[in-house]
């Protein structure tokens, strides 16, 4: 099986949300058929450490505390998954990788009552998924249940076979519609990238390579 190579140029426990770049190459765009994803934080001091979340099995009723990836603020608790997977940096044992860049968006859309921030969401996705598509479902299910606390975000979500961009924005504290999101698969043979700008423009909801929240249209 082709290895998924994650190029982590700069990672640390405190990440400048406004200085990130992701570069993406799909299988058909590389000489050996591998998927490539790079994730850089282009700011001073963004090279301190790699996080490690060991695999584990958790009892029914276990809770997971959500601590803000940037500020360290404690947002609350969510239900823990029955099983979580080994994660080092931004890749897990099944070669699922997740990067991000922040595009911000309208300030009034930020949901300050949401529990899950963008950084915590990335690592929850890595701990709970075996494929990119599963990571998208895990991440979007979590924010639809617990709320999304950060501003507009573009996530790169990849596995050894495909790469997706997931873009997400809160709904300003709306109790019924916590978040709006869309995910688009990068066509095989293509390269892409994003750097603190929303990347997804027009899309068709009839396309099987597009997934959206129910409130997107």
Tens of each residue's pLDDT in the chain, 217 residues: 455 544 433 343 344 456 788 999 999 999 999 999 998 877 666 666 688 999 999 999 999 999 998 888 999 999 999 999 999 999 999 999 999 999 888 889 888 889 999 999 999 999 999 999 999 999 999 999 999 999 989 999 999 999 999 999 988 877 778 899 999 999 999 999 888 888 888 888 888 999 999 888 7
Q: Output the pTM of the full model.
A: 0.88
How big is the CA angle at 119 (ends 118 and 125), to the nearest 5 degrees?
Answer: 85
Structure tokens at 82: 């029955």
Distance of CA 56 to the CA centre of its chain: 21
Distance from C-alpha of 139 to C-alpha of 78, rounded to nearest angstrom = 13
As a whole number of angstroms, the distance between CA 191 and CA 37 comes to 10
Residues 6+ apart with CB under 8 A from 175: none
DSSP single-letter state for residue 109:
G
The vertex-96 CA angle with 161 and 86, nearest 5°, equals 145
SS3 content of the chain, % helix, strand, coil (to 5): 15, 35, 50
List, in sequence order, every residue forming a beta bridge with 36; answer none if it has no partner. 5, 25
- CA-nearest of 37, 7, 13, 30 to 154 is 37
Contact 142, 124 (CB under 8 A): yes
Instruction: Give me the residue label for tokens 């994803």.
Output: 37
Q: What is the CA radius of gyration of the chain?
A: 16
């Amino acid at each position: 099986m082709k290895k998924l190579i994650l190029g982590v140029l700069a990672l640390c426990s405190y990440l400048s949300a406004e200085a990130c770049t992701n570069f993406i190459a799909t299988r058909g765009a590389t000489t050996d058929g591998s998927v490539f994803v790079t994730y850089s934080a282009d700011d001073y001091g963004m090279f301190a450490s790699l996080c490690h979340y060991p695999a584990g099995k958790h009892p029914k009723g276990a809770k997971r505390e959500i601590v803000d990836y940037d500020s360290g603020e404690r947002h609350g608790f969510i239900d823990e998954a029955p099983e979580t997977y080994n994660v080092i940096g931004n890749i897990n044992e099944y070669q699922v990788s997740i990067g991000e860049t922040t595009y911000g968006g309208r300030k009034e859309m930020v949901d300050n009552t949401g529990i899950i921030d963008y950084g915590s969401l990335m690592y929850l996705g890595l701990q709970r998924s075996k494929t990119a598509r599963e990571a998208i479902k895990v991440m979007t299910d979590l924010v639809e249940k617990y709320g999304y606390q950060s501003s507009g975000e573009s996530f790169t979500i990849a596995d050894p076979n495909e790469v997706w961009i997931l873009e997400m924005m809160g709904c300003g504290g709306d109790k019924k519609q916590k978040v709006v999101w869309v995910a688009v698969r990068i066509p095989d043979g293509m390269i892409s990238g994003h750097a603190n700008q929303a990347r997804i423009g027009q899309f068709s909801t009839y396309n099987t390579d597009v997934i959206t929240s129910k409130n997107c249209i």
